Amino acid sequence: MKLQGLEAEAVWDNRPTGRLLIVDDDAFLRATLKEQFLAEGFTEIFEAASLIETFREIDGCNPDLIILDIRLPDGNGIEICRKLRERGFAKPIIMLTGQNAEQDIISSLEAGANDYVIKPMRLGELLARVKSQLWQHKASDTARFSIGGLIFLPANKLLKSEDESRKVILTEKESTILKYLYRAHPNSVAKEELLAEVWGFQNGLSTHTVETHIYRLRQKVKRLTKKSIILTSGQGYSLSSVP
């Protein structure tokens, strides 16, 4: 994003929240982390103290990110990470490792972990890494986004109904517009900003180009739902709802 100053800060602070699963056999640490995440605005935080509890919680709460300790009383966090990836869990996993545990770090990353934090950890660092991983996953072209009851697959330039009975193919520009609006939600994006980000600084283009593409995108959405998912907000646009 080519944003500066307060505008850039507003979008950055609006990074996504999500369901968190904290896996560690230290009850005090879990309570401390939960308290910290609650203070930061996370509302769905789940806990597990063992391998068995971990898989039970994953099936029950479907977490958006897992904080996973390497040492558990009944299993190894690295093996848990590997098994989760084999089962198709594609969301971020952050490993908690001990000091001077270079091999554990390497093994964790090879098993599919997205990141790691060394114990004793600094809460600010862990929080920053959690938010960063959630944002990266949300913005990833390989992710499935839910927008106003529809499913958006950026990598395939595909928008479809939740029951997958109806679908429409988007153009490159339409897909890029939808991604940009998704990342900015719930903020609106000015037409000039969309023009600069989607088309670059091409000569001879005006915001009418944006308006035309938004109109076509809305027409495609109408084939899937009666809801208006792209709203006009002042001199720009925003999405009506994002989980």
93, pLDDT greater than 50:
yes
Looking at the fold, whether 116 and 76 belong to one and the same domain comes out as yes
Q: Of residues 172 and 53, which shows the higher confidence score?
A: 53
In this structure, are 160 and 83 located in the same domain?
no
The pLDDT-based confidence of 4 (bands split at 50, 70, 90) is very low
Task: Give the range of the structural domain holding residue 73, as residue numbers without chain letter.
Answer: 5-139
Span 209-237, mean pLDDT? 92
Same-domain pairing of 174 and 55: no
Report pLDDT for 49. 95
Structure confidence at residue 141 (pLDDT): 59
Same-domain status, 88 and 155: no
| Crossing angle between the packed helical segments 102-110 and 77-86, to the nearest 10 degrees | 10
For range 108-120, the mean pLDDT: 89
Is 149 found in the same domain as 129?
no
Q: How many domains does the chain have?
A: 2
Q: Is the pLDDT of residue 126 over 90?
A: yes
The two three-digit tokens of residue 6, written as one number: 């307060």
User: What tokens were used for 192?
Assistant: 């000039």
Can you list the positions of beta strands (E) in 39-92? 45-48, 65-69, 71-72, 75-76
Residue predicted with more confidence, 88 or 57: 57
Can you give the pLDDT at residue 38? 92
85 CB burial (10 A radius; 0-12, 13-18, 19+): middle
Q: Are residues 13 and 108 in the same domain?
A: yes
- Domain final residue, candidates 122, 139, 156: 139
Is pLDDT at 113 greater than 60 in this prediction?
yes
With a cut of 90, say whether residue 6 has pLDDT above it: no
State the average pLDDT over residues 99-123.
Answer: 87
Same domain, 107 and 182: no
Question: What's the pLDDT at 149?
Answer: 86
- The per-residue pLDDT for 146 is 85
> Which has the higher per-residue pLDDT, 14 or 144?
144
pLDDT per position as a tens digit, 9-26: 333 344 446 899 999 999
The last residue of a domain, from among 139, 167, 189: 139
Domain check: are 117 and 210 in the same one? no
Backbone angles phi, psi at 185, to 5 degrees: -50, 140
Separation of CA 95 from chain center: 18
Are both 178 and 193 inside the same structural domain?
yes
Residue 180 CA to residue 197 CA, distance in Å, equals 8
Same domain, 149 and 168: yes
C-alpha distances in Å from residue 9, one per residue of 130, 155, 192:
18, 27, 19
With cut-offs at 50, 70 and 90, classify the pLDDT of residue 201. Answer: low
> What pLDDT does residue 80 have?
93
CATH code of 221's domain = 1.10.10.10
* Angle (nearest 5°) at CA 131 between 66 and 182: 110
Mean pLDDT (the chain) is 85
Q: At 131, which CATH number?
A: 3.40.50.2300
